[in-house]
Chain A
Amino acid sequence: MTKPKVGIFGLTGCAGCQLEILNLEEQVLNLLALIDVSYWRMAQELPADPTNLDIAFIEGSITNEEEIHEVKEIRENANLVITIGSCAGSGGVQGMRNIMDNDKVKAAAYKDLSGVRSVPVKGVDEVIKVDYKIRGCPINRDDFVSIVTSLLLGRQPHVWNSPVCNECSMQNNDCFFERTTETPIYRSNICLGPITEAGCGARCPSNGMPCDGCRGLTSDPHISQLVTEARKRGETTEKILMLAKRYSAGSSAVKKSFEEMR
C-alpha cells in the first residue's frame, strides 16, 4: 500500500494546532510510518511538495487576500481538506473584530494603518469546500489521532452530537451553569457547556473554569434558553453574543444560528 501523501498548512493563528500535532511526541513517529508528510513548513525544510495531496490539514484563519488565494490552491491540490482548530474552522479569536468596530480595533493595535492590508476574518469553509473539521482551541491531539486513524481505515470520523454538559456531568464536576455561589473575580458567570459540542472531555470545567465554547455549537443548540438565563444574570444580549462567538465570529453558519435565535 502506498502511504497517503499529506500536507500540513498554517494560515493566520497561534500555530497551536500544529504544535499539538508535534506534542504527540513518540506517536509522531508511529504516524509517520503510516503517512508521507510532503509539506510541513513548521517542522521540516524538505521535501516541500504541496501538490497531489491525499489529505491537506489547514490551521489558521483567512485574514488577507493572499490567504484566500492560498486555500484555493490547496483545495485544487488535495483530495481531502481537513481544518484543524477554531481559527480554520470558524475564524478563531481574531475573528471577533468582525463583530466589533473594525476601525477602532485596528486603530488600537496600530497608530498608522496605511500598511495594513486585511479582509474580514474567515473560516476556511467560507472560501473552499472543507471535508471535515477537527474542533477546539487548540485541537486535542487524541482527537487528531482518532480522526486520522479513521481516515486511514476508510471509516467516517466520529461525531459527538452532544453538548459538553454530558461529558462534564460524567466527570462529576460542579456545574458552572447552575450558579449556586457568588462568581469569583477570575471567571465569567456564564458557562457555554449547554450549547457547545462535546469531545474535549469537558476540559475547562474539569480545571475549574467555565466552558467558553471553543469547539463551536453542538447540533440543535438551545441558544435562546442560554441567552434568557444569561439575561436574568444581568448580561446584555450584546455581551452574551460576544462571549458565545469568541471563537466563531468568522463563520457565516454560526452567524445564521444566532440570527435564527433572535
Chain B
Amino acid sequence: MSEDKRINLEYIARVEGYGQLVVDIENQQLKEAQFRVLEGARFFEGIVSGKKHHEVPIIISRICAICSVSHSVVSTRAIERAIGVEPSEQTHALRKLLIYSETIQSHVLHEYFLALPDYLGKTSAIDLASTHPELVAKAFYGKKLGNDMQRIIGGRAIHPIRNVIGGFSKFATTEELTNLRDRLPQLIDETMETIKILASLPDQPTIGSRRDFVAIHDPSEYAYYDTDQLISGHSGPFPAADYQEHLLEEIRPYSHTKFSTLKGESFMVGALPRLNLNHANLTETGKEAFEYSRLILPDYDTFHNNMAQLIETVDCAQLSINLLDRFIADGFEKENFEYDLHPGNGTAATEAPRGLLIHQYTFDEDLRCSYSDVITPTAFNQLKMETDCEDLVPRIATKPKEEIELLLNMLVRAYDPCISCSAHSMKVDVKFV
C-alpha cells in the first residue's frame, strides 16, 4: 500500500537558532527535502561596511554566540592579512588555545545536551538528569572547563574581548593557567568513558552515502586554526584564498537560499570531515580516543559526526594541555603593535566547532571596510542536509511517521547546525509545502 507522508519539522528543538526541515515522501519515495532558516536576516556584511578595521571583529563576532571565538579569530586574521599585520607566533598559539577552548565547550554542549538524549531515548538534558545524572555531571564539568578557558584566555566566555588585531590586549596569569591545566586530565578521562558508552549502544541509525568532505588542512598538524590550504576528500588540497572559485554558491529554483557546492555536488564540513581528512595528525591521546570509538575511516556516515566531536574533545583537551604547559613554563612576551597599516584585501579560513568558516575583507585608504564575505559552516552544510534526506529516506520510508520524524531530527542535529550563523545573511524563504 502506498502512503504519502508530509513531514514538516517546523520546530527543530535543541539546535542553536530557528530552522525548519520539510520532507515530502510520496509512494515511499522522497519527492522533496528542504532545509530552511526561519530566523530574520541580519545583513552583517552590510553592517560592517564603512567600519574601521578595529571595529569589525567586535561587531562580526555577534553573528553567533557559540562560535563567537571562531568569528573573532578568523576575522582578526583576515583583517591582519588585508592591512599588513603579522602577529607573533605567541599570538597564533594563544588563538589556537582559544579555538580549542571553544571546540571543547561547543562539542560538550552539543553532545550531552543536544545529541545524546536522542540516543538514550530522552527529550532533553533535563530529562537525562533524572536517569543518567553521571552523564549530566560530566557535561557540566566539560562545559564549565571550556567556558572557563574562554574566560581566562579571551576575557569572556561569549564574545571574547582580548583577541584583537595584532595580538592580545591582556594575558592570563600563571596561576589561572595552572588551574585550567590541572582540570583537563579529568575531561579526557570522562570523555573517553562517554566514547565507550556511545560506541556500545545498539541499533544506531546509519545513512549510506559517499559524498565529499571539506576542511582546512596543514600537513604537520590536525588543523583547527587558520591554514593556507583547504582540502577536499575527493579532489585534494587547494588554496584557501581561492575558495570562491572552488566552493561555488548557486541559486536553486525552489528556494531563494544560496547553496554551496564543490564540483556541482553537496559536501559536508565539521568534525567528521576533519577526522577523515586530518586524522593522521591527531595527538596520541586523540588516537587512543579514536581506537575506543570503533570508527573505520573513511567514514561517510553523518550520524558519526557525534562520535567525531567526542574524539576531537579529547584531542583539543590534550592540545590545550601542551600549550598551557608551554605558557606556564615560559610566560608571555609583550606584543608589538607597531605596524604601518595599508589598504588591501585578506582572507582567512578556520574551523569553527561545526565546520569550515571563511571570512574575507577589503579595507580602503581610510582603513574602513569596503567589502566583506562571510561563509559559515551551516551555510556550507545546508545542501548536504537535503541530499542526506535523499540518502536516508528510502531506507526508512516504511517506518511510522513518528519514527521518521525522530530520525530526521537526529540527522539535522548531528550536523550541530547553528542557525544564527546561517541567518547572518541567508535569505529567508518561508514557503510552506
Contact across chains for B47 and A15 when beta carbons are under 8 A apart: no
Q: In this assembly, does A43 line the interface, its C-beta being within 8 Å of a C-beta of chain B?
A: yes
How close is A122's CB to chain B, nearest CB, in angstroms? Answer: 11
The answer, among A15, A43, A184, A185, for a CB contact under 8 Å with B65, is A15
CB of B267 closer than 8 Å to a CB of A: no
| Contact count band on B | 35 or more
Cα A126 to Cα B427 with chains together (Å) = 25
Contact with A along B1-42 (1 / 0, CB 8 A): 000000000010111111000000000000000000001111
Q: Please report which residues of chain A, range 1-27, place their CB below 8 angstroms from some CB of chain B when the two chains form the complex.
A: 10-17, 19-20, 22-23, 25-26
Are the C-beta atoms of B428 and A137 separated by less than 8 Å?
A: no
Contact B65 A12 (CB under 8 A): no
Interface-facing stretch out of B123-131, B233-241, B274-282, B391-399: B123-131
Would B65 and A63 count as touching, CB distance under 8 A? no
Knowing A109-B44, A116-B428, the reply to whether A203 touches B125 (Cβ < 8 A) is no
Task: Report whether B164 and A14 are in contact in the complex, using a CB–CB cutoff of 8 Å.
Answer: no
Is B304 an interface residue when CB atoms closer than 8 A count as contact? no
CA distance A12 to B428 in the complex (A): 12
> When A112-B256, A137-B159 are in contact, do A106 and B43 touch as well, CB less than 8 Å?
yes
Choose, from B50-58, B181-189, B307-315, the stretch at the interface. B50-58
Interfacial chain A residues near B17, Cβ < 8 Å: 10, 15
Give the distance in Å from the alpha carbon of A92 to the alpha carbon of B17 in the complex: 16
- The verdict on A25 contacting B162 (CB below 8 Å), with A12-B39, A14-B420 known, is no
**Do the beta carbons of A186 and B169 come within 8 Å of each other?**
yes
How far does the alpha carbon of A66 sit from the alpha carbon of B429 in the complex, in Å?
13
| Nearest CB in chain B to that of A41: its residue | B13
Q: Contact at A26–B428, with CB atoms within 8 Å?
A: no
Closest CB in chain B relative to A174 CB, distance in Å: 11
Q: How far is the CA of A106 from the CA of B41 in the complex (A)?
A: 9
Residues of the B chain whose Cβ atoms lie less than 8 Å from the Cβ of A212: 58
B68 interface residue (CB < 8 Å to A): yes
Residues of A close to B170: CB separation below 8 A: 207-208
Q: Which of B158, B165, B341 has the most CB of A within 10 A?
A: B158
Main secondary structure of the interface of B (DSSP, over half): loop
Question: Given the known A-B contacts A10-B18, A48-B11, are A185 and B42 also in contact in the complex, defined by CB atoms under 8 Å?
Answer: no
Indicate whether A16 sits within 8 Å of B372 (C-beta atoms), given known contacts A48-B13, A114-B256, A115-B427: no
- Asked whether any CB of chain A lies closer than 8 Å to the CB of B85, the reply is yes
A175-188 interface bits toward B, Cβ cutoff 8 Å, 1 = contact, 0 = none = 00000000011111
How many of chain A's residues have a CB under 8 angstroms from any CB in B? Answer: 65
B138 at the interface (CB under 8 A from A): no
| Listed stretches B139-147, B345-353, B378-386; interface member | B139-147
User: Which chain B residues border A204 with CB–CB below 8 Å?
Assistant: 161
A23 and B143 contact, CB distance less than 8 A: yes
**B428→A117 contact, CB < 8 A:** yes
A172 within 8 A of B: no
Name the residue among B41, B55, B168, B341 with the largest chain A CB count within 10 angstroms.
B41
Q: A45-B123, A208-B169 are in contact. Are A22 and B46 (CB under 8 A)?
A: no
Q: Knowing A43-B126, A185-B54, A185-B166 touch, does A209 contact B47 (C-beta < 8 A)? A: no
Proximity string of chain B (114-156) to chain A, C-beta cutoff 8 Å, 1 when within and 0 when not = 0000000001111101000000000010011001000000011
A44-B14, A104-B46, A207-B169 as given contacts; A16 in contact with B65, CB under 8 Å:
yes
Residues in A whose Cβ lies below 8 Å from that of B126: 32, 37, 43-44
| Chain A residues, Cβ within 8 Å of B47 | 93-94, 96-97, 100, 105
Are the CB atoms of B337 and A185 closer together than 8 Å? yes
B109 contacts chain A at the CB level, 8 A cutoff: yes
A118 within 8 A of B: yes
**Smallest CB–CB gap between B352 and chain A, Å?**
13
- How distant is the Cα of A86 from the Cα of B157 in the complex, in angstroms? 17
Q: Which B residues lie within 8 Å of A61 (CB)?
A: 40
Are A46 and B123 in touch, CB under 8 angstroms? Answer: yes
Bound CA span A14–B17, Å: 8
Q: Which of B16, B40, B144, B427 contacts A25 (CB 8 A)?
A: B144
**Which residues of B lie under 8 Å from residue A11 when comparing CB positions?**
40
State whether the Cβ of A107 lies closer than 8 Å to any Cβ in chain B. Answer: yes
CB < 8 Å: which of B13, B43, B143, B155 contacts A105? Answer: B43
Q: Chain B residues near A52 (CB, 8 Å)?
A: none
Answer yes or no: B191 CB below 8 A from chain A CBs. no
B169 touches A16 (CB 8 A): no
Q: Decide if B62 is an interface residue (CB 8 Å cutoff).
A: yes
A19 to B158, Cβ gap below 8 A?
yes
In B322-345, the 8 Å CB interface with A consists of 337, 339, 341
Are B429 and A13 touching (Cβ within 8 A)? no
The verdict on A246 contacting chain B, using a C-beta distance below 8 Å, is yes
For the complex of A and B, the 3 pairs showing the least CB-CB separation, nearest first, are A16-B65, A105-B46, A115-B256
Given contacts A16-B65, A20-B65, 5 further A-B pairs with CB under 8 A are: A22-B143, A42-B14, A93-B59, A184-B166, A186-B337
Residues on B lying within 8 angstroms of A by beta carbon are 11, 13-18, 39-47, 49-50, 52-55, 58-59, 62-66, 68, 85, 109, 113, 123-127, 129, 140, 143-144, 147, 155-159, 161-162, 164-170, 251, 256, 337, 339, 341, 371-372, 420, 423, 425, 427-430
User: Could you list 9 examples of A-B contacts with CB < 8 Å?
Assistant: A14-B65, A20-B65, A46-B123, A61-B40, A63-B40, A92-B62, A93-B59, A94-B43, A114-B256
Question: What is the interface of chain A, defined by CB distance below 8 A to chain B?
Answer: 10-17, 19-20, 22-23, 25-26, 29, 32, 37, 41-46, 48, 61-64, 66-67, 92-94, 96-97, 100, 104-110, 112, 114-118, 137-138, 184-188, 203-204, 206-209, 212, 243, 246
